[in-house]
Amino acid sequence: MSLDLRRFKELIPGVIERKKSETVQLFQHLICLLIIGLIIGIACLPLNQIDHIQKLLFQHLPTTSQSVWQPIGLILALLPIGVMPILLLLQRGPWRDGAGSGIPQTMNALDDQSQLNSALAAPRTIQRSILWSIATLAMFPLGREGPVVQVGAAVARAIHQRLKHWLPSLNERQIVAIGGGAGLAGAFNTPLLGPIFMLEELTAEYSLNLIWPALVIGIGAAWFSNLGGIPIFGLGVINVMVPESEQLLIALPIGLAAGFLGGFFNRGLVWCTSRLEPFISKRPIRTGVILGICLSLLALTSWGASAGDGEALLEQLIEDGIPNPFPDGGSLLKGFSSLWIIMVRVLAPLIALASGVPGGLIDPSLAFGGVLGYTICEVLGSSTHLGLALGMAAGLAGVTQLPLVSILFAWRLVGDQQLFAGVVLCSVLAAYVGRLIAREPVYHALAKLQRPKRR
């Protein structure tokens, strides 16, 4: 008995030292993860500020001011005619590596790790961010998830290379996927969005050793974005008390319509991207002028509703409803106005994204889905705010076929969990309908177009 007690006492110092070592390693791990998240949030801050400036510029368009075209509004609407050729020249010349969304390129690098050095190189990341910033200030209808995903992935990889001994449980591919998802958290102040996007889109690797580091990094990135002015709920909180039975009934037409429209947006974007590439390569100036004219015409004929990423338009829907340039024109003209705004919110982002200008389709998808849901509920006599929330989730799910990401984005914008049942049903339904029309998710299809052709 005394011998066993002596052995036990001898083992105690070793156990204590091992626990101390494990505690220190865990502390180092957490500190490193938080550093990565904070730096990703800092790196996303300039892009968030550019996006904020675009929202301020949007206020000068007739769709928000409810007035006739003013000189500054006309200048903003006509900017794409001059800016698009410049962007295409840069993309086909000195900044060739900065063209494209950023997400397909990151996905290709995750599939073929030999591409990581080139895909996430600092010059390429900076070029893509600058191209997106120019397009955004010119009121192009683009989201920002493409550049921020690449920024997050590049930052995470760079820090991992320098502090690899602090993160022994994560390999290079894992940290790149985590960083890409954290870029979304840093751009939209949504901590949970990072790991969900990583799991649904960037990697199919489900592991606790992967998920909880993604959560910590996402928290750090989102926290800094909140300090930088991104609110917890982008459009405020919509207090809509609608019974679940009504939510589910409304979710059916919205999910079907948004899934149908999102599926064709998916197919149209992939088709136009592949068809435009040869023209842009041979005649970037001429093609840029034509595409810029198309964007400007859509902006002019929609009183500015087609311009911008779409979030400012959604704010307009919450506060004042569908923009109506014919207040005395009756319900017929108001209905025509709603349908035209839905159409231009699909066509304008498709034109801008198919040209290879860096950007994203999340905000544009939320926008046309929100207008669609709003219009359907207005016709059915239900709550238009309910239609807005359900439509945003359904529009994004129909395009991306990512229902969980769509649910989180809808909550981030409207912040009302009372609509859980309706948001979930319309997101899943829209994703299924979108898959029936476009068999391949949009980012995967675009990634295939970006891969070098084998000889």
Amino acid occupying residue 158 = A
Distance CA 209, CA 206 (A): 9
**DSSP strand E in 31-138: where?**
none
Cβ-based neighbours of 335, under 8 Å, separated by 6 or more:
none
pLDDT of residue 455: 42
Nearest alpha-carbon partner for 245 in 28, 425, 88, 110: 425
Nearest alpha-carbon partner for 345 in 385, 376, 304: 304
| Low-confidence residues in the chain, pLDDT < 70 | 1-24, 65-67, 204-205, 228, 232-234, 236-237, 323-335, 415-416, 452-455
Q: Do 383 and 242 meet the contact criterion of CB atoms below 8 Å apart?
A: yes
Q: What are the structural domains of the chain? A: 11-58+95-227 (1.10.3080.10), 244-450 (1.10.3080.10)
Give me 407's structure tokens: 């649910």
Cβ-based neighbours of 455, under 8 Å, separated by 6 or more:
none
Nearest alpha-carbon partner for 125 in 145, 157, 97, 90: 97
Distance CA 11, CA 295 (A): 74
Q: What are phi and psi of 92, to 5 degrees?
A: -95, 0
pLDDT of residue 244: 84
The DSSP string of 40-64 is HHHHHHHHHHHHHHHHHHHTTSHHH
Give me 121's structure tokens: 């190189």
Distance CA 156, CA 94 (A): 26
How many helices (H) and strands (E) the chain has is answered by 19, 0
In tens, the pLDDT along 306-325 reads 999 888 888 888 877 776 65
Q: Is 74 strand, coil or helix? A: helix
Distance CA 394, CA 407 (A): 9
pLDDT of residue 88: 94
